A and B are shown apart, each in its own frame.
Chain A
Amino acid sequence: MNNSNVLLKADNVTKRFGGLTAVNKLNIEIEKGSIYAIIGPNGAGKTTSFNCVTGFYEVSEGTIYFDGKLLNGKSTDQITRMGIARTYQNIRLFPNMTAVENIMVGEHPRLKTWWFESIFRTRRFIREEQAAETEALRLLDFVGLKGLGDQLAKNLPYGAQRRLEIARALASEPKLLLLDEPTAGMNPNETAEMTTFIKNLRDQLGITILLIEHDMRVVMNISEKITVLDFGTKIAEGTAKEIQQNPKVIEAYLGRGAASGLEN
């Protein structure tokens, strides 16, 4: 792990559920400050590989290193505190908490006071709570939801929920952000906005982004490197151009007819 420019390195990662191999010997190296995409047909093992990185699943074989540290055997919350945050394919906010409360829960890894300080309302506790709320409002503003802080998460429109989920993930000040289909269910306008937004995250905050996405336009637009999974196995890796021209990918994922459509 001498190469300090690599943020996440998955080595021969395999995840089996009984007889089914969901992810098979996956090798990935993500450079700091890059936008990296994983694509593949449904059931290819994209979300499973996310769950392996975040510690939600224990990998069956292989190793994952984050920032030079081994992630195997670490629990989800430990991994989050090391600097990995994620969003979910089917939005999973805390529906009955307000937008600000959602973000403040996301800030959890950064807060330092002990629980009993809240009983005595120590000065440190009050200061930290106020700072946390200010930061939550700032993040809300950053993702374009200013003024919606007191709304319950479940009452927000779909696009706003997606943004709120990203704000909540950003609240832990992650080094690596995992986005699971961030534009799923969005119309072309919203998708274009989200694409710009993701690009800004990297450009302005310097956060490395690992992305699962179905929308080819998004993927081809913003990712520096793409890995294509099919049946849990990596069948191709490279830049958008290389992927587009890879016959294996076209066959396995895009289908013969779709390849010509991408050319435009």
Chain B
Amino acid sequence: MSEQNNFDTREIINAGLITAAVAVSISVIGMVELFANRDLIAGIITVGQVWVFAPIIYMVYYKLNQLNIESSGKQFQIGAIIGAITGVSLALVIILQEAFNIRQFFINVSPSLIEVLGFGQTGFVGSLVIFLASTAVGLLTAGFLMLPPRWKAALFAGLAWTFGIGLFSDVLSERLRTFFGSNVARAIFVSKAIQPGVALVVFIVVTGIAYQWRAGKTAVSHRISGFTPKQQGNFRWVQIGFGIVVMLILPQILGTYLSEVTNNIGLFILMGLGLNIVVGFAGLLDLGYVAFFALGAYVIGILTSTGSLGIAGMNFWVALPIAVVVSTLAGLTLGTPVLRMRGDYLAIVTLGFGEIIRVLALSDVLKPYIGGAQGIIQIPKPAIAGVPLIKPEQLYYVILIAVLLAVFISWRLRDSRLGRQWMAMREDEDVAEAMGINLISTKLLAFAIGAAFSGLSGAIFAGKLTSIFPHSFNLLISINVLSLIIVGGVGSLPGVAIGSLVLVGLPEILREFAEFRLLMYGVVLVVMMLAKPEGLWPSEATRRELGRDNDDGVPDDIETLATAQN
């Protein structure tokens, strides 16, 4: 990277103006005000304020990384300029509102927004406060970035944990109340926020641990690498055993509400794993993936419902394999006509297929069989030995088994001849064919296995909800699943889980922000694509493709090495 000690002031001012525009927009559309109702740290910081300052922090971080300036004075200057410009713009919002009542045009510029921006102050004082606060945030960010890496990582961890606990405090306090009684819960949390004192303790403790973490980690891994192979094998089993125990007792820890959220995440993980085979492994862009989910659900509905539309009154467990088989066959059916299509064309055709299924489900023609817009109701919950799995804590285990099965199959297939076939096809279809790979069967297998996972997910979904309606199967589900794969990392199995946690779990827990869910969703996707296109947990292959792996073991003198072999 080139070092430069001078920066283009205009460029920084531009960056400041962009930041200001983002911060003002966030305020003016009502996001800040809505989020201001939620304290992070009781009486000190609200989520709304975080939203106002987040653009400044990100922009300073981005610019300093990009410009790579040595002098600390200049770095502070950049932070101050970006912060100040944003501060002036936000102050202008307060002043304009006072002077001209701009609320006529921007209905969200309410007195409470002004109060949030001015930290309780209004008028001139308020505008001065927001200006100073913004500038301070810019300076602090610049200063933070100049810290030695170890401190930076430690402080970052401390802040992240404190804010994270604050953000999820209502869920956490509910859990604390269940386990330790309401006194403990009240000592730590007040009305959906963390107590300031506790926040400070959390911050200090986490920062301290994080500071020691690196040294501790190397020591531990050093110790482990010193194990004999047999000990290492045992250690592995201990890890696996621990993982299994955690997975088994998880619903007891999480309670009903969080188990429900976990179940939703699980169903999306299941779909994501299926789509990951189609898109991630085989490189076939499928936008109508929800169709198989719908099919799985409807097959369960028709076969098991005790209502007027049920035709068989079957047991859930008998109907489940039928649902999976039907989805798989549907995958083959969709796969056959689109075999010769690539890229964009494939995406459009699959998009159409997904819509056809949804429209069919809504149609009058099929209404006598699948209920049209009224859907199918009275689907019994799956039961084990006559005991229906009513609580989400119980259904959790069904989903867990399904997810583990899908992970296992995905993993084994990826590391096999079929996995190589998919990969080769993704890289270069023509050459793959010239290597003797039958593209037809390879593609159909991807579609069919992907559809099977999705059908399984849909079947459990129907048993979980006990009623299904066509509008549950709209295009947004397909987009959702595709997005979670992209955010997690295309082709990566852990990535699917991470993606589901972020894109399905977070919005569920932060339900009150539903109004801005799609907006944030869009922002997350755009930022991800700009900052980390390989995903949160990229597969090994993607990491290689994007060349993010700096230490991939390529010898510098590879040329000589190659010729030396002759």
A92 touches B428 (CB 8 A): yes
A104 touches B418 (CB 8 A): no
- State in angstroms the CA–CA spacing of A151 and B552 once bound together: 9
Q: Is A5 an interface residue (CB 8 A)?
A: no
- State in angstroms the CA–CA spacing of A96 and B421 once bound together: 14
A118 touches B412 (CB 8 A): yes
Nearest A residue to B419 via CB reads: A118
- State in angstroms the CA–CA spacing of A94 and B439 once bound together: 16
Nearest A residue to B441 via CB reads: A115
A96 touches B544 (CB 8 A): yes
Chain B, 524-566, contact with A by CB distance < 8 Å: what is the 0/1 string?
A: 0000000000000000010011000000111000110111011
Residues of A within 8 A of B413 (CB): 115, 118-119
B436 touches A109 (CB 8 A): yes
Q: Is A238 an interface residue (CB 8 A)?
A: no
Residues of B within 8 A of A101 (CB): 420, 423
Nearest CB on B from A167, distance (A): 12
**B contact patch SS:** helix
A193 touches B566 (CB 8 A): yes
Residues of B within 8 A of A132 (CB): 417
Nearest A residue to B439 via CB reads: A77
B435 touches A80 (CB 8 A): yes
Residues of A within 8 A of B565 (CB): 144-148
Residues of A within 8 A of B563 (CB): 159
- State in angstroms the CA–CA spacing of A49 and B435 once bound together: 18
Residues of B within 8 A of A97 (CB): 420, 423-424, 427, 541
- State in angstroms the CA–CA spacing of A101 and B420 once bound together: 8
B561 touches A147 (CB 8 A): yes
B412 touches A144 (CB 8 A): no
Q: Which one of A94, A150, A160 contacts B424 once the chains associate, using CB atoms below 8 Å?
A: A94
- State in angstroms the CA–CA spacing of A94 and B412 once bound together: 21
Q: Is B437 an interface residue (CB 8 A)?
A: yes
B416 touches A86 (CB 8 A): no
- State in angstroms the CA–CA spacing of A125 and B418 once bound together: 12
Chain B, 416-446, contact with A by CB distance < 8 Å: what is the 0/1 string?
A: 1111110110011011111111110000010
- State in angstroms the CA–CA spacing of A152 and B420 once bound together: 14
B566 touches A56 (CB 8 A): no
Residues of B within 8 A of A95 (CB): 427
Nearest CB on B from A195, distance (A): 13
Number of interface residues, chain A, beta carbon within 8 A: 47
A160 touches B433 (CB 8 A): no
User: Given contacts A94-B428, A147-B565, are A108 and B423 in contact (CB under 8 A)?
Assistant: no
Compute the total of residue contacts between A and B using a CB distance below 8 Å: 116
A96 touches B545 (CB 8 A): yes
B436 touches A80 (CB 8 A): yes
- State in angstroms the CA–CA spacing of A112 and B348 once bound together: 35
Nearest CB on B from A41, distance (A): 25
Nearest CB on B from A228, distance (A): 26
Nearest B residue to A171 via CB reads: B435
- State in angstroms the CA–CA spacing of A156 and B417 once bound together: 24
Residue among B424, B438, B439, B562 with most chain A CB within 10 A: B562
Nearest CB on A from B340, distance (A): 12
User: Given contacts A56-B434, A94-B424, A96-B541, are A118 and B416 in contact (CB under 8 A)?
Assistant: yes
Q: Is B409 an interface residue (CB 8 A)?
A: yes
Nearest CB on A from B557, distance (A): 11
Q: Is A260 an interface residue (CB 8 A)?
A: no
Chain A, 152-173, contact with B by CB distance < 8 Å: what is the 0/1 string?
A: 1001110110000000100010
Nearest CB on A from B419, distance (A): 8
B562 touches A76 (CB 8 A): no
Nearest CB on B from A113, distance (A): 7
User: Given contacts A96-B544, A118-B412, A129-B417, are A106 and B433 in contact (CB under 8 A)?
Assistant: no
Residues of B within 8 A of A77 (CB): 433-439
Residues of B within 8 A of A159 (CB): 562-563
Chain B, 385-413, contact with A by CB distance < 8 Å: what is the 0/1 string?
A: 00000000000000000000000110011
Q: A97-B423, A97-B424, A105-B432 are in contact. List 20 more A-B contacts (CB 8 A).
A: A56-B434, A80-B435, A81-B436, A86-B434, A88-B431, A94-B428, A94-B432, A96-B544, A97-B427, A97-B541, A104-B417, A105-B420, A105-B423, A109-B435, A115-B418, A118-B413, A118-B417, A144-B562, A147-B561, A160-B562
> Which B residues contact A (CB, under 8 angstroms)?
408-409, 412-413, 415-421, 423-424, 427-428, 430-439, 445, 541, 544-545, 552-554, 558-559, 561-563, 565-566
Q: Considering the complex of A and B, which 6 residue pairs feature the smallest CB-CB distances, nearest first?
A: A118-B416, A109-B436, A80-B436, A94-B427, A115-B418, A76-B433
